[in-house]
Structure 1
Amino acid sequence: MRAVILAFVLTTPLGVLAQTKPAPAAKAPITLAPGAMQLQAGGGAANRPDHAPEYPGGEEAMGEYFSQHVQVPAKAKQARVTGDVVVQATVDTSGKLINPQVAKGLTPECNAEALRVVQAMPAWQPATRRGVPVAILVQVPVPFDNAGVTKFETDRKVPRSAKDAPGLN
């Protein structure tokens, strides 16, 4: 019993000292706001745009473009593959997408279709820095949602598996 009390007495001051150490001071977060931003010395990075590149008509028009031009490969339809193929490309100073590459793929067939569709896109409005067009790297998600398969499934009145189930006929 004495050994337990002695151990408690010897360890208690160390525990108290450990708790009384001041915590390191946290740095205040930096808040970027339009009125609080300053130009970097020397003008900053040469390719940092003031205005980002934009697909003509915006995101909604890009979605419409994909819905009209993306053809889901037969293998992807059969396997019911869904998702986005992320294509990385450079919007050059004329607005054309150059050097497209798959950054995140689904299947080899979907990846090839996404590259085909991105290469056929109309010219974008290029990014600008101080009013001068600059080339910028962008990532474009090309959707593969198998809308035709999904629509077919939702239009059916009774699923095949339910027709074979007893009591539902």
Structure 2
Amino acid sequence: MRLSLPAFLVLAAPLAALAQTKPAPAKAPIVLSPGNMQLQAGGGAENRPDHPPTFPGGEEAMGEFFTQNVQIPNKAKAAHVTGDVLVTATVGTDGKLSNPKIAKGLTPECNAEALRVVQTLPAWQPATRRGVPVPVLVQVPVPFDNSGVVKFENNRKVPHSAKDAPGLN
């Protein structure tokens, strides 16, 4: 079977166009954060909340809770371990955290303490989707700053203005 030149061009043109198309660049994943959540036109994904879950009293209250409840393990104190243990957990429709897991740990002792403290967190205000509470996975940083370990600066000079202040002489 012999194709005429016009018939060959009609069949070859779509193949040539396909060979020249470039693949579409991959889109970067969307990162959800409390200040970056917006209602999408048409409702968006069914698992995307309109309002994120919130700790009662906000971030400051959570920091205060950790300050009062985190007990730095003796091994971590001795080794001067500092940093955050990242714990993932699900904030349920009732606001209670469930299924906590270590996402990024420091030491086995710090990881165990972080899990213990996260399990004692009070109930959160749950996330909502169209006014209905929905479960959401959150990542909670549990700080281990070793604040009991105090470092002093040696040979620090006192400014002249401080020397002249009353009560410092």
Q: State the alpha-carbon separation in 2 of the partners of residues 132 and 101 from structure 1.
A: 26
Matches of residues 154-169 of structure 1 in structure 2 within 5 Å? 154=152
Question: Hey, what does 1:38 align to over in structure 2?
Answer: 41
Matched, 1:118 2:113: no
Matches of residues 43-82 of structure 1 in structure 2 within 5 Å? 43-82=43-82
% identical aligned pairs: 68
Kindly state the Cα deviation for residue 47 of structure 1 after the two structures are TM-superposed.
1.9
After the TM superposition, which segments of 4 or more aligned residues of structure 1 sit over 4 Å from their partners? 32-35
Question: Hey, what does 2:9 align to over in structure 1?
Answer: none
Matches of residues 78-89 of structure 1 in structure 2 within 5 Å? 78-89=78-89
Gaps of 5+ in 1: 1-23, 159-169
Question: Hey, what does 1:164 align to over in structure 2?
Answer: none
Q: State the alpha-carbon separation in 2 of the partners of residues 130 and 44 from structure 1.
A: 11
Question: Hey, what does 1:7 align to over in structure 2?
Answer: none
Kindly state the Cα deviation for residue 65 of structure 1 after the two structures are TM-superposed.
0.3
1:51–1:73: structure 2 CA closer, same or farther, 3 Å change rule?
same
Which secondary structure state, in structure 2, belongs to the residue aligned with residue 148 of structure 1? coil
More helix by share: 1
Task: Please provide the CA RMSD for this pair.
Answer: 2.5
Kindly state the Cα deviation for residue 38 of structure 1 after the two structures are TM-superposed.
1.5
C-alpha distance after superposition, 1:27-56 (max 9, x if no partner): 9x9xx9969x522xxx43222100000000
Gaps of 5+ in 2: 1-21, 28-35, 156-169
Residues 102 and 111, structure 2, Cα contact 8 Å, conserved in 1: yes
Kindly state the Cα deviation for residue 90 of structure 1 after the two structures are TM-superposed.
0.2
Kindly state the Cα deviation for residue 86 of structure 1 after the two structures are TM-superposed.
0.0
1:33–1:105: structure 2 CA closer, same or farther, 3 Å change rule?
closer
1:74–1:33: structure 2 CA closer, same or farther, 3 Å change rule?
closer
Moved more, 83-92 or 45-54: 45-54
Kindly state the Cα deviation for residue 92 of structure 1 after the two structures are TM-superposed.
0.3
Given the two structures, how large is their TM-score scaled by the length of structure 2? Answer: 0.67
Which secondary structure state, in structure 2, belongs to the residue aligned with residue 147 of structure 1? coil
Q: State the alpha-carbon separation in 2 of the partners of residues 70 and 119 from structure 1.
A: 12
1:65–1:95: structure 2 CA closer, same or farther, 3 Å change rule?
same
